[in-house]
Structure 1
Amino acid sequence: MAILAVNAGSSSLKFSVHVRGPQGMRAGVLVGAFTGLQPDGQPVLSWSYEGQKHEEVLLVAARQSLWLAALARLQTLLNASLHLPPIAAVAHRVVHGGTRFTSSVRVTDKVMEALEELISLAPLHQPANLAGIRAFAQAFAGVPQVACFDTAFHAHMPELHQRFALPEALHQQGMRRYGFHGLSYQFIMGQLQQHSDRAQGRVLMAHLGNGASVCAAVQGRSVATSMGYSALDGLMMGTRSGTLDPGVVLELMAQGWSHDRIESLLYKQSGLLGVSGLSADMRALHASNTPQAQLAVDLFVHRLVRESGAMVACMQGLDVLAFSGGIGEHDAVIRAQAVQQLHWLGLRLDEQANTQARGDAVVAIHAPDSAVPVWVVPTDEGRVAAQEAADLLNLS
């Protein structure tokens, strides 16, 4: 029995095939991604199987949808001589579950209708997630489709950490803090608990990538997180602003900015890209010698440190710090700068261990005299989604 885990974006499709072993769901035996699926894009398929990496330009017939071409190629790949078990379910990462979906659920027409109503809460991600579910339900007819939610890990945060200072009627409408990156945090927590006895205490996890957030967890459960009602809140991100005074939005409205223009500004034109005027890619900013690129990097670290302080305050202390995500796993400079600015917590890095951590294994990067252990934990949201689907459907 195998589970196909997918993460459908607006221009990309990540996938992985997972098989359950004696110790639970294994890392993907087949892992890959289609990129360039946007209109007029040049689709490329990259995948790896048993340590062998492959890349190919996707062949698309005249007038064929890029998405349909990608799904057809994926089916061919799964049916090739890769010795894979049959696919028993497709597990989809869905960004927002709202107040109704606090755990993974098998997709039905009613579930899809309810998820459609949440599009305004995650306009960059939710439409693509739902389009992916529809496409796979058609391509893999009869195979159960399971929605796994990024909000679920935070669903039981204390009420004080969920509540906005808004009237009760608006709270009842669902205007509250939800939190995101839950599949990632669920995986990171599981890995930390296998590697550190202190992970049952007060843990600060930083998922840093194009989307970025921090999460405070106590005894394995989320108690606070930087993202809130939408995936805009909290840290500065690749193209997203992070926390912003609502007065700025009101002023833009007074200047005549439309909803769509403001949405585009906050989701697609801000963050690292907006401040640097150069790129949303941290690697490009490190390579640049422009003052604005350096400002973008410094501001990213500043926001990380500021939000981390808030999380530590919510937990009233810190027992473990973990970095994950594309930046968190691979950027030794950002990790070093953040830890240095959090030195008042007793954090100390082993510089060599930090430099050598490449995001390919769970690695401790703290110095022997550090009061708090610091880890790099490569995340695997697909494995969590696959495990959720297998458990939900009672598959073995």
Structure 2
Amino acid sequence: MKNKAPIKSPGVNILAINSGSSSIKFSVYRLNGHLERILDGNVDRIGLKDTRLDYNNLATEKQGNLRLDLSDHKSVANFLIGWLEEQLDFSMISGIGHRVVFGMKHTEPEIITQKLLDELHRIIPYDSDHLPEEIELIHVFRQRYPNLKQVACFDTAFHSKMPRVAKLLPIPRRFDTLGIQRYGFHGLSYAYLMAELGRVAGKKVAQGRVVLAHLGSGASMVAVHKGKSMDTSMGFTPAGGLMMGTRSGDLDPGVAWFMMKSENLSPKQFNTLINHESGLLGISETSSDMQDLLESQTTDIRAAEAVELFCYQVKKWIGAFAAVLGGLDTLVFSGGMGENAPEIRSRICEELGFLGIEIDEKRNKTNAPVISTDKGITAVRVIHTDEEWMIAKTVSQMLTLTKD
């Protein structure tokens, strides 16, 4: 619905874009001493018949949704620009930030230039599931607003200072020149979580031995010490590590070879298999949504096994990362499942008493900020993540640094 008077928000306003393979999340923030969200939304199921926009205009207190007959990121981006122009005075936007999943050698946020875009085009083969759509979005906004500064915020940057041993993969060294290594992802989420952990628990806690679990449709974990990523579950691509909604997570290379051979799969078909047909969906054969599986696990053994395997894998990674860190001080759950699924958290933490983890089930059932018992040695926390806020924060810092 068209607003008669678009929002006029004085001061610095920033648009944060968080693009996925089938969705685009966005938020507009006003910078007035602190970042205040004034508009947000999500275009989901891009490329499918039921694509829709859900939005919340906090300035006008209007919420709603729109069905969209649009088939790709470019058409959605063009629609989104027009829709945003109806919601607010776009001349008040000072900068746009984009989440870029794969950064390779780019370890800091960067003002987007043609040189950077050319480099991102070059590395598309390393992340063909995300980079093409992300680049397309950047192009659309650059064409409409060529003088507006845009910033690339790289998801891999948080892990760029991991110890070399954590980055190395046990393959012939000749592949080093191709940049094949563990990169890790969900970096914007982890950067936000560490900042928030420091705010709510204190800097001393944030400098301790921390495991962060971002458990959503995409799921990963990271071991952090003194604020630095020491190791992470995702590897060369976001398909590695934990099983996820539709991604397989780690696989024996022999399994991959055998599957391709037995079903005569092309590389593209195999990529589709491990990224879109595996994980919770592959095991359950019904859904990639954990809530659906929890509701059906008592009557469907496939759903029960999918839930069990997911919790088992997260538990294993917690143990592995505790070994990497030499102990554990804080465990943080985040992401859709991590923040909203008490049963999943409880099952993950079962039998982790040897790490000082003890869950208070009353706190856990209410998604309390701290769900461990008072006598538990290791603090277990639930923290809502906010990648768009982290993008906006980064853009605000970049605009200050590059002010003419």
Tell me the TM-score normalised to structure 1 length.
Answer: 0.91
Note if contact 2:51-2:68 (Cα within 8 Å) is conserved in structure 1.
no
Q: Which moved more, 1:345-354 or 1:120-129?
A: 120-129
SS of the equivalent of 1:394 reads helix
- Decide whether the 8 Å contact of 1:213 with 1:235 is kept in 2: yes
Please say if 1:147 is aligned against 2:118: no
Deviations 1:269-304 (A, max 9, x none): 000000000100001101112000010000000110
- The alpha carbon displacement at 1:37 in A equals 3.6
Say whether the 8 Å CA contact 1:285–1:294 is kept in structure 2. Answer: yes
Q: Does 1:171 align with 2:182?
A: no
**Aligned match of 2:387:** 381
Could you tell me which residue of structure 1 aligns to residue 320 of structure 2? 310
Correspondence for 1:350: 360
Which residue does the alignment assign to 1:265?
273
Q: Offset of 1:36 from its aligned partner?
A: 4.3
Asked if residue 95 in structure 1 is aligned to residue 90 in structure 2, the reply is: no
**1:117-152 C-alpha deviation (Å, 9 max, x unpaired):** 332332322222111111222233311111101000
* Equivalent residue, structure 2, for 1:43: 52
Q: Structure 1 vs Structure 2: percent identity of aligned residues?
A: 37
Instruction: Give the root-mean-square deviation of aligned CA atoms.
Output: 2.1
Partner residue, 1:371: 377
Relative to structure 1, the CA distance from residue 310 to residue 51 in structure 2 (aligned partners, 3 Å threshold; closer, same or farther) is farther
1:148 is paired with a residue whose SS is strand
Q: Which runs of 5+ in 2 are unaligned?
A: 1-11
What's 2:338 paired with? 328
Counterpart residue number, 1:252: 259
The answer to whether the 8 A contact 1:164-1:171 is kept is: no
Partner SS, residue 99 of structure 2:
strand
Instruction: State whether structure 2 residue 97 is matched by structure 1 residue 70.
Output: no
In structure 1, the residue corresponding to 2:182 is in which secondary structure? Answer: coil
- The equivalent of 2:43 in structure 1 is 34
1:36–1:189 CA distance, 2 compared to 1 (3 A): same
Structure 1 stretches of 5 or more lacking a match?
none
CA distance in 2, matches of 1:377, 1:298: 23
Aligned to 1:7: 18
Letter in 2 for 1:33: N
Letter aligned with residue 28 of structure 2: V
Secondary structure of 1:56's aligned partner:
strand
| Pair 1:52-2:58 in alignment | no
Instruction: Find the aligned partners of 1:307 and 1:237 in 2 and give their Cα distance.
Output: 14
Secondary structure in 1 matching 2:63: strand
Q: 1:60, 1:69 within 8 Å by CA — same for their partners in 2? A: no
3-state SS of paired residue (2:183)? coil
| More moved, 127-136 vs 215-224 | 127-136
The corresponding residue for 1:278 is 286
Aligned AA (1:57): L
* 1:291 and 2:301 correspond: yes
Distance verdict in 2 for CA 1:73–1:292, change over 3 Å: same
Are 2:215 and 2:335, in contact at CA under 8 Å, matched by a contact in 1? yes
Aligned partner of 1:29: which letter?
I
2: CA distance, partners of 1:175 / 1:230 = 10
Q: Is the 8 A contact 1:239 1:268 kept in 2?
A: yes
Counterpart residue number, 2:31: 20
Which residue of 1 is the match for residue 351 of structure 2?
341
Normalised TM-score (structure 2): 0.90
Q: Structure 2 CA distance, aligned partners of 1:204 and 1:102?
A: 22
Give the number of equivalent residue pairs: 383
* Residues 1:158 and 1:59: Cα distance change in structure 2 (over 3 Å): closer
- Per the alignment, residue 192 of structure 1 pairs with 197
